[in-house]
Amino acid sequence: MSTSVATPMSPSVLRQFYALTKPRVVQLIVFCALIGMVLAVPGLPGIAELRLMALACVGIWLVAGAAAAFNCLVEKGIDAKMKRTAWRPTAKGQLADGQTLLFSVLLCLMGSVVLYVWVNPLTMWLTFATFVGYAVVYTVILKPLTPQNIVIGGASGAMPPVLGWAAMTGQVGPEALILFLIIFLWTPPHFWALALYRVEDYRQSGLPMLPVTHGNEFTRLQILLYTLVLFAASLMPFIFGMSSWLYLAAAFVLSLGFFLYAFKLWRHYSDALARRTFRFSLIHLSTLFAALLLDHYLL
Q: What CATH superfamily is the domain 11-171?
A: UbiA prenyltransferase (1.10.357.140)
Cβ-based burial of 124 (10 A; exposed 0-12, middle 13-18, buried ≥19): buried
Q: Is the pTM of this model over 0.95?
A: no
User: What is the residue-wise DSSP string for the chain?
Assistant: -------TTSHHHHHHHHHHT-HHHHHHHHHHHHHHHHHHSSSS--HHHHHHHHHHHHHHHHHHHHHHHHHHHHTHHHHHH-TTTTTSTTTTT-S-HHHHHHHHHHHHHHHHHHHHHHT-HHHHHHHHHHHHIIIIIIIIIITTT-TTHHHHHHHHHT-HHHHHHHHHHSS--HHHHHHHHHHHHHHHHHHHHHHHHTHHHHHHHT---HHHHT-HHHHHHHHHHHHHHHHHHHTHHHHTTS--HHHHHHHHHHHHHHHHHHHHHHHS--HHHHHHHHHHHHHHHHHHHHHHHHHHHH-
The one-digit pLDDT tens for each residue of the chain (299 residues) are 334 334 455 548 888 888 888 888 899 899 899 999 999 998 889 999 999 999 999 999 999 999 999 988 888 887 787 777 777 888 888 888 898 899 999 999 999 999 999 999 999 999 999 999 888 888 888 777 888 888 887 888 899 999 999 999 999 989 999 999 999 999 999 999 999 999 988 888 787 889 999 999 999 999 999 999 999 999 999 999 999 999 999 999 999 999 999 999 999 999 999 999 999 999 999 999 999 999 998 86
pLDDT at 15: 87
Q: Which of 141, 146, 148 is nearest to 71 (CA)?
A: 141
Domain boundaries, the chain: 11-171, 173-299
